[in-house]
Structure 1
Amino acid sequence: MDLYRKYFNEQQLHLLSAQTPSWGVDMLTIGHNLHPAKKAYPDHNHPNQYCFDWSEGRTLNEFQLVYIANGQGVFESQTIPPTLVEGGTAFLLYPGVWHRFKPSYETGWEEFWVGFQGHYAEYLMRQECFSPEKSLISIGFRSELLNVFTRLIDTLKYEGTAYRQIATCQVIQLLGLVYTSALMSDTSRNRREQIVHQVRYRIQGIWAQPIDFEKLAEENNVSYVWLRKAFKEVMGVAPGQYHLNLKIDKAIQMLGETSLSVSEIAYQTGFESLFYFSRIFRKKTALSPSEYRAKRPVINLEKT
């Protein structure tokens, strides 16, 4: 699918309102973007009213639905702590509610979005399963949602007969799909996954340091026993093992991309000794660090 973005200014909205009646959902922006890895976000194509600096975040005057189709990143708002989001996640942005989000620098992401306002939009967003406290919704890879986004973009791109009314119906259909996903989801499961992704984000931020997982659990108002079980159910490994795999991944990257010695890499990745680093590295990759650097094979650690 081609990349596309469209933003309506006040003059355009005024002309549209004069030409066709509002159905209670006025679209303000629509887009599909594939943001590549290792690029700053947002890109320069965002207009001033939508662009933001990560250190400051942003507050909008409209509702937005954002769907992450691929990749991963982080989302944070005044009601939700920093949380890792992955492909298949939607988030709802509310007028006057501070937020910020960005893709991972290593992966980038593919995003679809639509911004809207209007009296019927207000009514829809007051439904029980929609609130700033429940902004993150696990949608999964639903072809139906992507198909509606695609049709919506085509409707705006070609501006055929009654395109404004058709676009309104398609936005309502999108919200209906998200509403259904929110209703069908298990609240306790969503809460569990949110905590796990918050902990993942925290681990990724301090991966080179020793981590007190009991303290990390306490910061999220759960016990370590609960956190370990939930983390393993969601991620397939315990948090300590996830941390160890992450450190080995970083070491592999350093072996392939830097001229640092093996002992320097062991120190920078937070291992207590060169011997321990070499032992764990061999256990994970079947090679010593020096052998790996010489051969540089492609090794997948996700199932290790």
Structure 2
Amino acid sequence: MNLSQQHYFSVSRKDRAWGLYLTGTGRIIVRPRQPYPPPGHPAGYDFDWKRGRILDEFILLFITAGSGSFESARDGKVQVEAGNLLLVNPGEWHRYRPDISAGWTEYWATFDGEMARLWRKEGLLPATSMLRGCAESVVHLFVDLLAAADHDARSTPFLAGLCHAIVAQAASFKPSHPEFVEDETQRLRDAADFLRRHFGSVNSSSLALSCGMACSTFRRKFRSYFGVSPQRYAREQQVARAKRMLIETSMPIKAIAAELNFSSEFYFMRTFKQIAGLTPGGWRRQSFQAPRNQDN
């Protein structure tokens, strides 16, 4: 078995236009008492333990065997074990290495892009670099990523897609958060699911009670999580359903308004235009308008 596989990619304008691009990926098997890092990294990526390293891009490091240590300006010094995933932000000082008596096996990827920077800005990425006990699916994604790079390193959008999947796994796995936070999130999702399935007047008090919250707390937390109030969320779901009915059926607008539990056709038309920017009739006409011949 090759103890070190690595790929570094030149990033084109087209790659950047995707919003997420991979700059490198690889796997390193470090035997006990073997020097680390092994040679072969290009300038800017190599580092030693004493000085550490700062990269202007994101780093994913997944340990599948062995143990070691990781240190960063954000997290301080922490122990690393098999099953741990590290996500390092651009511009963050860091260093890591395997235990000399144990060694380790690492899969790594470096990536960047406007989409990734937006994830960070919006707080979608984990607040800590260290994620412990990650799902086995992360291993498979790294294996697929490396295999794809081995097969055709020019398929950069596909490689970025696999990287996106790994980051999504990391973003959804937050064991450092208290259990009640995860439970609270699920209750908010359940409330949103109820609003998607049940059209009509929104009873915030009943939803808040089902979530075990005061009404004002529920509305505040719902808006914080979904970006809109429960009432607005319900209306958006109604309008989304109305859009499909306008396209997929020949039902009159008045019948659609009644089907979706709007109090009147006028209220339906006003709500639809507020959210969609067009009247229901305008939406239907636009959807069925034949595309113009661009060659004429």
User: Please, what TM-score do these two structures have when normalized by structure 2?
Assistant: 0.56
Which residue pairs with 2:138 in the alignment? 145
Out of 119, 130, 136, the residue aligned to residue 130 of structure 2 is 136
State whether residues 63 and 93 of structure 1, in contact with CA within 8 Å, keep that contact through their aligned partners in structure 2: yes
Which residue pairs with 2:156 in the alignment? 164
1:4 partnered with 2:5 = yes
- Report Cα offsets for 1:102-121 as digits up to 9, x if no partner: 10000010101110011111
Which residue pairs with 2:44 in the alignment? 49
Cα distance, 1:139 vs. partner?
3.4
Question: RMSD over aligned Cα, in angstroms?
Answer: 2.1
Which residue pairs with 2:11 in the alignment? 13
Which residue pairs with 2:253 in the alignment? none
Measure the CA separation in 2 of the matches of 1:54 and 1:21.
32
Which residue pairs with 2:168 in the alignment? 176
State whether residues 16 and 113 of structure 2, in contact with CA within 8 Å, keep that contact through their aligned partners in structure 1: no
Which residue pairs with 1:61 in the alignment? 56
Cα distance, 1:70 vs. partner?
0.9
State whether residues 139 and 181 of structure 1, in contact with CA within 8 Å, keep that contact through their aligned partners in structure 2: no
- Report Cα offsets for 1:125-145 as digits up to 9, x if no partner: 3353535x51111133x3311
Which residue pairs with 2:256 in the alignment? none
What is the one-letter code of the residue matched to 2:75? I
Measure the CA separation in 1 of the matches of 2:59 and 2:157.
19
State the secondary structure of the residue aligned to 2:11.
helix
State the secondary structure of the residue aligned to 2:40.
coil
Name the stretch that deviates more: 52-61 or 20-29.
Answer: 20-29
Gaps of 5+ in 2: 180-296
State the secondary structure of the residue aligned to 2:118.
helix
Kindly name which structure, 1 or 2, has the bigger radius of gyration based on alpha carbons.
Answer: 2
Measure the CA separation in 2 of the matches of 1:21 and 1:60.
18
User: Please, what TM-score do these two structures have when normalized by structure 1?
Assistant: 0.54
Identical-pair percentage: 26
- Report Cα offsets for 1:21-67 as digits up to 9, x if no partner: 73111110101111111012111122221111211111001101111
State the secondary structure of the residue aligned to 2:17.
coil
Cα distance, 1:149 vs. partner?
1.1
State whether residues 148 and 173 of structure 1, in contact with CA within 8 Å, keep that contact through their aligned partners in structure 2: yes
Gaps of 5+ in 1: 190-304
Measure the CA separation in 2 of the matches of 1:80 and 1:58.
15
- Report Cα offsets for 1:270-297 as digits up to 9, x if no partner: xxxxxxxxxxxxxxxxxxxxxxxxxxxx
